[in-house]
Each structure stands twice: as C-alpha cells, then as structure tokens.
C-alpha cells in the first residue's frame, strides 16, 4: 500500500539546450551540454502551469519529455496533459515511497516540433537571454534577402564557430558536417 506523500512540493530536474548522446566506453546514453535546473512546484500544479514555468525557465516554448524512474534515457515519455502529469507523479511516488528522500522527476525540455502554432498561444516569457533571439532574426533576414522567400531556411540554433570545409580540426575537436547538420561526437579523449 502506498501512502500519499506529506511533501506539498514536487521537484523537477529540468535539462534543456543539450543532447542525449551515447557515452564512449559503453554506449550508455547520457545528457551532454545545455543547462540543468531544479524547479520546485506545488503538488497541485496543473499541466498548463507547469509548461508555463518551464518555458519561463528556459526562455522559449517547450515540449516535456520525462524519464520514468525505472527506465533509461532511451525510453522517455511525453507529457502533454494533466492526466499524463498525474500518472508521472504517481510513478515517482511509488518509487519514492521506498527511498529515504523524495526523488526529483527528470525532465528534458525541447522546442516544440511546430513552433509556429505554439508560440501564438503563449506570450513570450520575460527572461533576458544572451541575444540569441536577436541574432536569429538578424541571421534570418540577412540570409533570406538574396533568396526567394520560398527557399529560405529556418534559423539554426547556436552552434560552434562555423567552418567551411567538410572536416576540420579546431581546438582539439573534429567537426563533421553534412549538407544540413553539424555533428560533434565525443570519441575517447576528444570530440569529433
């Protein structure tokens, strides 16, 4: 029998801005880069309030994917409603009942797949970001001016310094680039 927790707050361990990549020696998935913050909210928080607080924390609209307490990073669960949130909290409560301290719910925040439709429903958060939004709009207007509007590409997220060749060595790392993506992969003692 599981007793209801006496703690009135829930803690979420939120990671954003990085990537889930395999670790070199054993291939086990790990979260690399980005930021990780703890967000404490009342246990009675609604899904919409939680999304708003997480969007405010990372500076843009987000989708929420969570790691179940008994699963690895390859089996993340999307949380999209109050019912999903209640089920997730229940799973963590079951595992936390046998541990001396309550567990933090592991959350990975990503920009939504269709960013245009979500941004119209939420007003932008009031966090100051290090000029990422202004550089995106500048880059977008500059790069799309010589092209026709139908050929313009969406702005890319911040990345390492731009390199012009297919494979370059720079500051002890290798950068592999195909026509659309830039990949950095850690291989032993270096990134490639």
Alpha-carbon gap, residue 189 to 148, rounded angstroms = 44
Q: What is the pLDDT of residue 52?
A: 96
pLDDT for 154 equals 54
Query: Under DSSP, is residue 46 helix (H, G, I), strand (E, B) or coil?
Result: coil
User: How much is the pLDDT for 38?
Assistant: 96
Dig out the tokens for 88 from the structure: 């997730």
Record the pTM: 0.56
User: What is the structure's pLDDT at 180?
Assistant: 54
Amino acid 144: pLDDT: 39
CA distances from 86 to 39, 93, 96, 110, 136 (A): 17, 10, 15, 21, 37
Q: In what order do the strands lie in the sheet with 9-22?
A: 29-42, 9-22, 105-110, 63-67, 76-79
Pairing of strands 9-22, 105-110: parallel
DSSP assigned state of 165:
S
Q: Where are the domains of the chain?
A: 9-118, 160-192
Q: Domain 9-118 falls in which CATH fold?
A: Ubiquitin-like (UB roll) (3.10.20)
List the chain pLDDT tens, one digit each, 192 residues.
444 555 789 999 999 999 999 988 888 999 999 999 999 999 999 999 999 999 999 899 999 999 998 888 988 999 999 999 999 999 999 988 888 888 899 999 999 886 444 443 444 444 433 433 333 333 333 333 444 444 555 555 554 444 444 444 444 444 444 445 555 555 555 554
Residue 86, helix vs strand vs coil: helix
On whether the CB atoms of residues 5 and 20 are closer than 8 A, the answer is: no
Using DSSP bridges, classify how beta strands 190-191 and 186-187 pair: parallel, antiparallel or unpaired.
antiparallel
């Amino acid at each position: 029998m599981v007793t209801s927790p006496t703690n009135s707050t829930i803690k979420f361990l939120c990671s954003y801005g990085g990537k889930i990549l395999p670790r070199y020696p054993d291939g086990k998935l790990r979260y690399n880069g980005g930021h990780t913050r703890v967000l404490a909210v009342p246990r009675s928080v609604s899904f919409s309030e939680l999304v708003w607080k997480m969007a405010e924390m990372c500076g843009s609209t987000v989708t929420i994917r969570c790691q179940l307490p008994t699963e690895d990073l390859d089996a993340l669960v999307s949380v999209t409603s109050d019912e999903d949130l209640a089920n997730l909290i229940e799973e963590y409560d079951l595992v936390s009942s046998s541990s001396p301290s309550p567990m933090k719910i592991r959350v990975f925040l990503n920009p939504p797949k269709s960013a245009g439709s979500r941004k119209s429903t939420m007003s932008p958060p009031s966090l100051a970001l290090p000029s990422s939004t202004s550089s995106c709009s500048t880059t977008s207007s500059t790069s799309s001016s010589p092209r026709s509007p139908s050929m313009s590409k969406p702005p890319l997220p911040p990345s390492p310094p731009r390199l012009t060749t297919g494979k370059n060595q720079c500051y002890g790392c290798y950068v592999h680039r195909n026509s659309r993506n830039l990949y950095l992969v850690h291989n032993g003692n270096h990134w490639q």
